[in-house]
Amino acid sequence: MSSIEKFLTSQINKLKDNHLFRTLSANSDLVDFSSNDYLGFSRSNLLKNAIEEELAKQASWMIGSTGSRLISGNTQYAIDLENDLAKFHNAEAGLLFNSGYDANLGIFSCLPQKGDTIILDEKIHACIIDGSRLSYANRYKFRHNDLGSLEQKLKIAKGNIFIGIESVYSMDGDSPDLVGMVELAEKYEANIVIDEAHGAGVFGPNGKGLVSELGLEKKIFARIHTFGKAIGAHGAIAMGSKALRDFLINHSRSFIYTTAAPFHSLAAIKLAYKELNKQPQLQTDLQNKILLFKSNLVKNNRLIESYSPIQSVVFSGNENVLKVYEALKNKGFNVGAVRSPTVAKGMERIRVCLHLFNSDDEIYRLVNEFNQYL
Ligand SMILES: Cc1ncc(COP(=O)(O)O)c(C=O)c1O
C-alpha cells in the first residue's frame, strides 16, 4: 500500500473506532424529521408548477449562466431578484451568492482587514469560521449566546469590529438575545453580521427572519439569508448597505471567481418568496407543529430550549445517540444523530427537524418512540 493510502486507511479506521465514520446514503422513504425543508417548499407541487410556468414564459432561458456575474453570467433577472428580496427584507441592497457557504466565506474573508477584529459565537457555523480563517483580522470566540463573554472580547477588540452570530443555531436550534447584542454593538461601535440560514422563512412576518421580527433591520450591518432551507431552493443573499454590496462585488472571491447561479435556480427563489408573501399563516402553522412535539415529550429536561423547528434531545455519548437513532430508524423515522466532536462531549443528541408537512399523527408517533428513551 502506498504511504498516502496507508495514511487514509489509518484515518478512516480512527473514525470507525470512535463511531464517527460517515457514509453517503440516498434519501430513504422514512418520515422526514431531519431535512431543512421546514415549510415543505422543496417538495411543493404548487411551486413546481409555478416554476415551470416561469421557465415557459422566458422562451430564451439558458440552462447554465455561462460565467461569473462580472463576466457573462449576469442578467437583469438576477438584478431584479436582488432588488426585490432586499425590499422584502427592508434592506438597502442585496447580493446573491451561490450558497450560504459561499456567502459567509466571501464576507468574512474579505470584509475584516488586518488590524480589525472578528468576534464569533463559539457555536457559529463552519463556513463563518472558514471565512474568518482566510482573513488577516484578529479572531476571538465568545461563550454561546453570552452577552458578558461577548463584552469581554469587545473591550479588547481593535479596528473595525465584526460580531458573527446566527439567528438560529443549527445544532441547538436556539437564538441569541439580539436586542441585547445590538445594544452592546452600539456601545462598542461594532458591526453585527447575522446568518439567518435557519431563521429565514421561519421567524418574522412572512418569514422575513428574526431581525425583521424584532424590527432591527437598520441596526444590523449585514444579514445572510440562505435559500436551501425553508425557501426550498439553493443559494443565498447577503443584505446591507449599497456600499457593502459594491465592496463584495469587488472583493469577495467566492462571488467573483465562480459561475453565477443558473436561471432555473433564480426562478425557484423568486417563486418561493412569492409564496411567502401570499401565505402569512405559514410561520404560525409551523410553530403549532413545533409545540405539538415539545408539549408531548414526557420529560423535556433533556430538550435544548428552542422555539425553532430544530429540536435537540441530548443522549450523552456517541454510542447512546446511535442506539436511539437506529431504534427510531427501525420505526420509520429519519432524524439526525449528532455526535461529538460536532457537538461537545456529553452533549451528543438526536436532532429533530419539524416541518409543515409532518402530520400530527407522525409527530405523536415520533414522540411516543422518544418517550421510551427518556
Ligand atoms: C447556519 C448555517 N449557515 C450557513 C449554511 C450554509 O448554507 P448553504 O447550505 O446554503 O451553503 C448552513 C447550512 O448548513 C447553516 O446551517
For residue range 139-152, what is the model confidence (pLDDT) as tens digits?
Answer: 999 999 999 999 99
Is the minimum distance from the CB of 353 to ligand 1 under 6 angstroms? no
Q: Provide Rg for the chain, Cα atoms.
A: 21
To 5 degrees, how large is the angle CA 273–CA 271–CA 231?
50
Residue whose CA lies nearest to ligand 1 atom number 7: 100
Other beta carbons less than 10 A from residue 273's beta carbon? 22
Q: Which atom of ligand 1 is nearest to the CA of 169?
A: 1
pLDDT category, 5, cuts 50, 70, 90?
A: very high
Is the minimum distance from the CB of 164 to ligand 1 under 6 angstroms? no
- Tell me whether residue 302 is in a domain: yes
- Tell me whether residue 15 is in a domain: no
Q: Which atom of ligand 1 is nearest to the CA of 124?
A: 1
66 vs 74: CA distance, rounded Å:
9
Q: Which atom of ligand 1 is nearest to the CA of 227?
A: 10
| Spatial contact of 236 and 103, defined as CB atoms under 8 Å apart | yes
CATH number for the domain including 345?
Answer: 3.90.1150.10
pLDDT category, 263, cuts 50, 70, 90?
A: very high
Hey, what's the cell of 315? 443522549
Q: What is the pLDDT of residue 170?
A: 94
Q: What is the pLDDT of residue 316?
A: 86
Of the residues 263, 278, 293, the one at which a domain ends: 278
User: Does residue 62 share a domain with residue 129?
Assistant: yes
Distances (CA, A) of 364 to 40, 205, 233: 19, 28, 29
Ligand 1 geometric centre to CA of 113 (Å) = 24
Residue whose CA lies nearest to ligand 1 atom number 16: 170
Q: Which of 9-23, 178-192, 293-307 has the highest mean pLDDT?
A: 178-192
- Tell me whether residue 233 is in a domain: yes
Q: What integer is the mean pLDDT of 163-192?
A: 98
User: Does residue 205 share a domain with residue 74?
Assistant: yes
Beta strands in the chain (DSSP E): 31-32, 93-97, 117-121, 138-142, 161-166, 190-195, 222-226, 236-240, 310-314, 333-334, 336-338, 349-353
Q: What is the pLDDT of residue 77?
A: 97
- Tell me whether residue 194 is in a domain: yes
User: Does residue 285 share a domain with residue 268?
Assistant: no
Hey, what's the cell of 237? 443573499
Ligand 1 geometric centre to CA of 100 (Å) = 5
Ligand 1 geometric centre to CA of 122 (Å) = 16
Q: What is the pLDDT of residue 223?
A: 98
Is the minimum distance from the CB of 135 to ligand 1 under 6 angstroms? no
Sheet holding 161-166, edge to edge: 93-97, 236-240, 222-226, 190-195, 161-166, 117-121, 138-142
Is the minimum distance from the CB of 167 to ligand 1 under 6 angstroms? no
Is the minimum distance from the CB of 175 to ligand 1 under 6 angstroms? no
Q: What is the pLDDT of residue 370?
A: 86
User: Does residue 324 share a domain with residue 361?
Assistant: yes
User: Does residue 285 share a domain with residue 269?
Assistant: no
User: Does residue 333 share a domain with residue 199?
Assistant: no
11-51: pLDDT as tens digits: 999 999 988 899 998 877 999 999 999 999 999 999 999 99
- Cβ burial of 232 (10 Å; 0-12, 13-18, 19+) is buried
Q: What is the pLDDT of residue 35?
A: 97
| Spatial contact of 311 and 292, defined as CB atoms under 8 Å apart | no
213 vs 205: CA distance, rounded Å:
6
Q: What is the pLDDT of residue 19?
A: 81
Q: What integer is the mean pLDDT of 272-278?
A: 98
Ligand 1 geometric centre to CA of 374 (Å) = 30
User: Does residue 194 share a domain with residue 105?
Assistant: yes
Q: Which atom of ligand 1 is nearest to the CA of 234?
A: 10
Q: What is the pLDDT of residue 298?
A: 85
- Tell me whether residue 45 is in a domain: no
Residue 249: strand, helix, or coil: helix
Alpha-carbon torsion 267, 272, 276, 281, what sign?
A: positive
User: Does residue 174 share a domain with residue 65?
Assistant: yes
Name the residue range of residue 134's domain.
Answer: 58-278
Is the minimum distance from the CB of 101 to ligand 1 under 6 angstroms? yes
Cα-to-chain-centroid distance, residue 89:
17
Q: What is the pLDDT of residue 262?
A: 97
Q: What integer is the mean pLDDT of 40-63?
A: 96
Is the minimum distance from the CB of 161 to ligand 1 under 6 angstroms? no
User: Does residue 366 share a domain with residue 256?
Assistant: no
Is the minimum distance from the CB of 98 to ligand 1 under 6 angstroms? no
Ligand 1 geometric centre to CA of 4 (Å) = 31
Q: Which atom of ligand 1 is nearest to the CA of 166?
A: 1
Is the minimum distance from the CB of 236 to ligand 1 under 6 angstroms? yes
Ligand 1 geometric centre to CA of 7 (Å) = 30
User: Does residue 308 share a domain with residue 184?
Assistant: no
Q: What is the pLDDT of residue 8?
A: 97
- Tell me whether residue 10 is in a domain: no
Of the residues 278, 295, 320, the one at which a domain ends: 278
Q: What is the pLDDT of residue 301?
A: 80
Residue 82: closest CA among 264, 240, 232, 256: 240
Hey, what's the cell of 133? 480563517
Residues in the chain: 374
Ligand 1 geometric centre to CA of 12 (Å) = 26
Q: What is the mean pLDDT of the chain?
A: 96
Q: What integer is the mean pLDDT of 95-100?
A: 98
Is the minimum distance from the CB of 348 to ligand 1 under 6 angstroms? no
Backbone φ and ψ for 51, nearest 5 degrees, come out as -65, -45
- Tell me whether residue 297 is in a domain: yes
- Tell me whether residue 44 is in a domain: no
Distances (CA, A) of 61 to 36, 53, 66, 111: 29, 12, 12, 34
Is the minimum distance from the CB of 308 to ligand 1 under 6 angstroms? no
Of the residues 238, 256, 278, the one at which a domain ends: 278
Q: What is the pLDDT of residue 28?
A: 78
User: Does residue 165 share a domain with residue 183?
Assistant: yes
CATH number for the domain including 248?
Answer: 3.40.640.10
Q: What is the pLDDT of residue 59?
A: 84
The number of folded domains in the chain is: 2
User: Does residue 187 share a domain with residue 320?
Assistant: no
- Cβ burial of 337 (10 Å; 0-12, 13-18, 19+) is buried
Distances (CA, A) of 44 to 51, 81, 158, 289: 11, 21, 48, 18
The helix or strand, by DSSP H or E, that contains position 212, with its residue range, turns out to be helix 210-213
Q: What is the pLDDT of residue 299?
A: 77
Q: Which atom of ligand 1 is nearest to the CA of 104?
A: 4
107-118: pLDDT as tens digits: 999 999 999 999
Is the minimum distance from the CB of 100 to ligand 1 under 6 angstroms? yes
342-367: pLDDT as tens digits: 899 999 999 999 999 999 999 999 99
Ligand 1 geometric centre to CA of 35 (Å) = 12
